[in-house]
Amino acid sequence: MPTGAGTIIAAMKRLALSIVGGVVIPFLYTIIVGPLTTYSDNSALNLYAGYPVRWPILILYRFFPVDFLNEMILSLSFIGGNVLLYTFVTYIVLSAFWKPKATSRVPPPPVQPSLNS
């Protein structure tokens, strides 16, 4: 396992890409799948299509009373939960496929014989 500044930079790049993925993946899913569900008459399919982005709201409704939840809590849990989940998933996928670049190791120069001997 390589160590040093190159590994830290690679980990920071992976973290930055995973955060971007955590924001972009649910956004694109909502933009693409949301309008497509209007063309389907199958209510079960429409329900299942919403689970990948609606799961934080479903969990809140399951464990907290409805009168406790207001729009701010629902919005924050919806956005925050999706970003955290998809950031984590993207980070795991990037970690699995991210290969560190092979660095060529140049051997040190030969030791010069001393002139005093």
DSSP characters over 85-117: HHHHHHHHHHHHH--PPPPP-PPPPPPPPPTT-
Q: Which residue has the higher pLDDT, 110 or 18?
A: 18
Each residue of 55-95: pLDDT tens digit? 888 888 788 777 766 888 788 888 899 999 999 999 999 98
Residue 94's nearest CA partner among 7, 42, 18, 41 is 18
Q: What angle do CA 108, 109, 114 make, to 5 degrees?
A: 130
**Please, which pLDDT band fits residue 106 given cuts at 50, 70 and 90?**
confident
What lies within 8 Å, CB to CB, of 25 at 6+ separation is 86, 89, 90
Res 3: pLDDT: 57
pTM for this one? 0.71
